[in-house]
A and B are shown apart, each in its own frame.
Chain A
Amino acid sequence: MDIQFDFGIKNGNFAGNFVGNIRGSITTIIGPSGSGKTTFLKCFSGDLKPDYGYIKIGSEILFSSDKKIEIPQNKRNISMVYQNDLLFPHMTVKKNILYGYKDNKESSKLNIQQISKILKINKLMHKKPSELSGGESQRVALARSIFSNPYILLLDEPFNSLDVVTKAPILFYLKELQKLLRLQILFVTHSYQEMFFLSGNSILIDEGEIKLIGDPHEIISKKLKKLPTSEINNYLSGVVTGEIQKEDNSGVVSIGEIKLVVPINDCSLGSKVIVQFFASDVIISTEKLTNVSARNIIKGEVLFLQEMDNSYLLTILISLDKKIYVEITRYSIEKLCINKGSTIYALLKSSSCRVLRY
């Protein structure tokens, strides 16, 4: 649905004015802390009320100061997953996730069993929130929001407190659920990683204003100093298909047609995994090398070339629908004459990869 807005809000010391138009299934909202991302999101959920302006979703007006319209929070059909999971402590997981569930025709597309399985919470149903780990709690909170069958799902840095091992699978589940249920998602983050992983469309917010709406490459080109230039991660989901070599504990993970030799830990043959490596750990070559120590050589095509603070971020298409991000220096770009469209070989050491259980 098309989301249009033009509103202003004062909240304590913060003053913001947001104008824009959002389309597309997943939109990430990125900006430094204190820039107004959460305030922006809370005006959609109804947690906060703008001082003036309007918010329109499709043809429905959520808020309009001119027309004196303010749809109450419980009638908006917009659900939010907060930074803190906010699970109801006196209810079991099952009661929590079904709290907003309405037994009607529209909700029939929500297959409770299937979604619970995707989020891996189907075995937690009878537990109380106090018995859950951080990752489990956020997965339950996500399920609870999804089961309320919202038009729009808002996520306010929900996985902030989680480590990569816990977070990466949830990001995959979220993407999977988005496709399955055709959810429209607004996802607040301050991490370039999550922005790149999740969205084709992104909003940059700073100092209470929308500075840019565009794809992640345009956002990163803004070189916003206040944002921590956290290293950009690559996440690729695949299946363990190859023999596990006992001596160095490595195995083969198939990601579509691409096969990577990675440290396999205790994952068994056939299990679904996520391979993670940093964009800066990849070496680029313009010709196919044969005598190298790196065990993975992936052929690809440069899709984008984006200048960052001291380096370049390359987006490389490695198969029909798989991309990886590679960070290299300006010197290398010039020396190797890499341009958009160049064919390159990405060299990846097995030991630079981490395998996470999916």
Chain B
Amino acid sequence: MISSSEFQIILISLRASFLAILIILPLGVFVAWIITKTHFKGKFFLELISSLPLALPPVVTGYFLLWLLGSGSITGRYIEIVFSDNLAFTWISTVLAAAVVSFPLSVRAFTVAFQSVDPNLEQCARGLGANNIKIFFTITLPLSLRGVFAGLILGFARAFSEFGATIIVAGNIPGETSTVPLSIYSNIIIGDSESATRLILVSIFIATITLVVHNRLIHIGTKQK
């Protein structure tokens, strides 16, 4: 059976993943909206930066995060003033690492969802006097809700499995930043194969559930069109 410490590890991972997609939801939807619905010079850079963590080794992403949170950078010093603490190697950094790494995946899904909405409907709404905000909340978002939800689930799955960036920026502190993948890694290293197996099974279970939900959403979405 799952021990209480393993249960705590699972909770840390679930917390990091849920909070990560909570961050991704407004930010990712906004970025995806800019990418699909606006035209400006330099949009290319936004697209590049927002999908960079997809292509970079997570360790590199983690390194950048560490630098951003650490007292060596302006952002890090600012954070220290606001939170009167350094956020690196805290549970918050597990959330941030998971969010940054999953962000591109969700944004891609949101982008596809927004692109699938007939632009003529949005144009028509504009002709009826609607501004960008009204168009987004009354036409674009309701018509792409399934895709947005699917993107969040994909983000959740990616966040739950996050390893490379987390180990750099959050370390592997038991009870604080030790997520399921990090614990599996350390259990294998120290030879606790029973605990490792249990956590591996939990990972497989959660991955399966999220992917089944994701695929169902996509399937229903295409069936309705």
Enumerate chain A interface residues (CB-CB to B < 8 A): 45-47, 73-80, 82, 84, 86, 88-90, 99-100, 102, 144-145, 148
Interface centre among B126, B130, B142 (most CB of A within 10 A): B126
Tell me which residues across on chain B come within 8 A of A76, comparing CB atoms: 127
- The answer to whether residues A47 and B127 also contact, given A82-B120, A86-B120, A86-B121 and a CB cut-off of 8 A, is yes
> In the bound complex, what is the Cα–Cα distance between A16 and B38 (angstroms)?
27
* Contact among A80, A84, A88, A102 for B127, CB-based, below 8 A: A80
- B139 and A88 contact, CB distance less than 8 A: yes
Answer yes or no: B92 CB below 8 A from chain A CBs. Answer: no
Answer yes or no: B197 CB below 8 A from chain A CBs. Answer: no
- The answer to whether residues A86 and B124 also contact, given A77-B129, A100-B129, A100-B130 and a CB cut-off of 8 A, is yes
Shortest CB–CB separation between residue B111 and chain A, in angstroms?
20
Answer yes or no: B143 CB below 8 A from chain A CBs. Answer: yes
- A-B contact count, CB below 8 Å? 50
- A90 and B124 contact, CB distance less than 8 A: no
Answer yes or no: B82 CB below 8 A from chain A CBs. Answer: no
- Number of residues on chain B facing chain A (CB within 8 A): 16
- A90 and B120 contact, CB distance less than 8 A: no
Chain B minimum-CB-distance residue to A102: B129
Answer yes or no: B56 CB below 8 A from chain A CBs. Answer: no
Tell me which residues across on chain A come within 8 A of B129, comparing CB atoms: 74-75, 77, 100, 102, 148
* Contact among A75, A88, A102 for B125, CB-based, below 8 A: A88
Shortest CB–CB separation between residue A154 and chain B, in angstroms?
9
Among B37-85, those with CB < 8 Å from A are none
Tell me which residues across on chain B come within 8 A of A77, comparing CB atoms: 129
- B121 and A145 contact, CB distance less than 8 A: no
> In the bound complex, what is the Cα–Cα distance between A140 and B221 (angstroms)?
26
Shortest CB–CB separation between residue A68 and chain B, in angstroms?
18
- B127 and A78 contact, CB distance less than 8 A: yes
